[in-house]
Chains A and B, each alone.
Chain A
């Protein structure tokens, strides 16, 4: 009688230990510990380059505490913009394997892709670039966003 009890207990132990999904961990290369925390937008510098002409610059620095990025653990993130008039809760990805280092934020149908120019304990600079060619004239616009804690 004892033998069958031992077999049954062993089986129950094996069976109970196996029944759970493997946790879906976000790969470490998609996280950036240096980004964690709330970053307030302080300035936007727009550089426009038409062909090989000298670039022109415009700078904006009238932002509120509703213009921010907040990065949390497990890739959760929040993006708020007074220009859009909305705050989004979603997830970020910063693929460290790619150069330049992208910063992609997604929330439902909303998605925004930036590239990280620099990140220090107090300052985060990210940028977006668009390029357009019309009648043989190429215009590139790069927006640099400077955030601070």
Chain B
């Protein structure tokens, strides 16, 4: 009987060893950020110059490596040449866009804590979502100077749904408590328009697309919680 009591007492005493204590790998669940983008629009116009855009975003971090991003874009898309292309197609689109993306970083998928090389790769991410772009043509030409009747139809103002796909690297900067409180984002985003009016021209067989090289900053704004494994190296 005494032996039984002793065993129970030891087992109960050992229970605290099974409990998982707060590890202290904290991160903010909410980030606010801004970024700049260099745009190229691949449309029905024959030349593809580079234009620019500014982005504002709000991120909900489910974990440090699984993120949900709501973003507003304000920028310009441009393409074509009235004189130097046969079609004469030309557009300048001062657009606005709203996107929602889910983002998965490599750090969520493997343990990087014991390998410096993997640790460097933990911030690589892929991202996809849905967006809507509001097109507003400031300048538009749909008619060839050179071939009579070679013209296209289209709309000066339109809104279209698109699929944003992004590949990038989110460099995390840590504060004194090893919490990632500033993030620098380098990414390439392809926005696949489900319509054909990014250029205000309805022609050809393919839908319009615009790509973006993005550099941005994100700042932790609160909602601190802890993660199951080490975030910093």
The CB with the most chain B CB atoms within 10 A, among A18, A26, A92, is that of A18
Task: Assess whether B46 is in contact with A106, with CB atoms less than 8 Å apart.
Answer: no
Task: Assess whether A91 is in contact with B86, with CB atoms less than 8 Å apart.
Answer: yes
- A105: min CB distance to chain B, Å: 9
Closest to B87 in A: A24
Interface of A, secondary structure class, is mixed
A26, B44: Cα distance in complex, Å: 12
Q: B118-172: which residues lie under 8 A (CB-CB) from chain A?
A: 118, 121, 124, 126, 145-150, 165, 167
The 0/1 profile, CB within 8 Å of B marked 1, for residues 72-94 of chain A is 00010000000000000011110
Instruction: List 3 A-B pairs, minimum CB-CB distance, nearest first.
Output: A22-B204, A24-B87, A104-B148
- B79: min CB distance to chain A, Å: 7
List 10 interface pairs A-B (beta carbons < 8 Å), by A numbering. Answer: A1-B106, A4-B106, A8-B124, A15-B165, A22-B205, A24-B204, A30-B148, A75-B150, A93-B147, A102-B148
- B71: min CB distance to chain A, Å: 18
Using A19-B40, A24-B45 as known contacts, list a sample of 5 further A-B pairs with CB atoms less than 8 Å apart, ordered by residue number in A.
Answer: A4-B121, A7-B126, A22-B205, A75-B86, A75-B147
- B150: min CB distance to chain A, Å: 6
Task: Assess whether A1 is in contact with B204, with CB atoms less than 8 Å apart.
Answer: no
Task: Assess whether A18 is in contact with B190, with CB atoms less than 8 Å apart.
Answer: yes
**Cβ 8 A contact of A93, one of B42, B47, B150:** B150
Q: A53-83: which residues lie under 8 A (CB-CB) from chain B?
A: 75
Tell me if B231 is interfacial: C-beta within 8 Å of chain A.
no
| Inter-chain contacts of B190 with A (CB < 8 A) | 14-15, 18-19
Which A residues fall within an 8 A CB radius of B? 1, 3-4, 7-8, 11-12, 14-15, 18-27, 30, 75, 90-93, 95, 102, 104, 106, 113
| Inter-chain contacts of A75 with B (CB < 8 A) | 86, 147, 150
Task: Assess whether A24 is in contact with B85, with CB atoms less than 8 Å apart.
Answer: yes
Task: Assess whether B109 is in contact with A1, with CB atoms less than 8 Å apart.
Answer: yes
Which B residues fall within an 8 A CB radius of A? 40, 42-48, 79, 85-87, 89, 104, 106, 109-110, 118, 121, 124, 126, 145-150, 165, 167, 188, 190, 192, 203-206, 208-209, 211
| Inter-chain contacts of A1 with B (CB < 8 A) | 106, 109-110, 118
Closest to A24 in B: B87
Closest to B152 in A: A24
**Cβ 8 A contact of B150, one of A12, A21, A23, A27:** A27
A93, B148: Cα distance in complex, Å: 6
Task: Assess whether B124 is in contact with A4, with CB atoms less than 8 Å apart.
Answer: yes
**Cβ 8 A contact of B206, one of A22, A91, A93, A113:** A22
Given contacts A19-B209, A24-B86, contact A106 B147 (CB under 8 A): yes
Task: Assess whether B209 is in contact with A18, with CB atoms less than 8 Å apart.
Answer: yes
Task: Assess whether A7 is in contact with B104, with CB atoms less than 8 Å apart.
Answer: yes
- B90: min CB distance to chain A, Å: 11
Given contacts A15-B167, A21-B79, A91-B86, contact A30 B211 (CB under 8 A): no
A106, B143: Cα distance in complex, Å: 14
A26, B45: Cα distance in complex, Å: 13
- A126: min CB distance to chain B, Å: 14
| Inter-chain contacts of B110 with A (CB < 8 A) | 1, 4
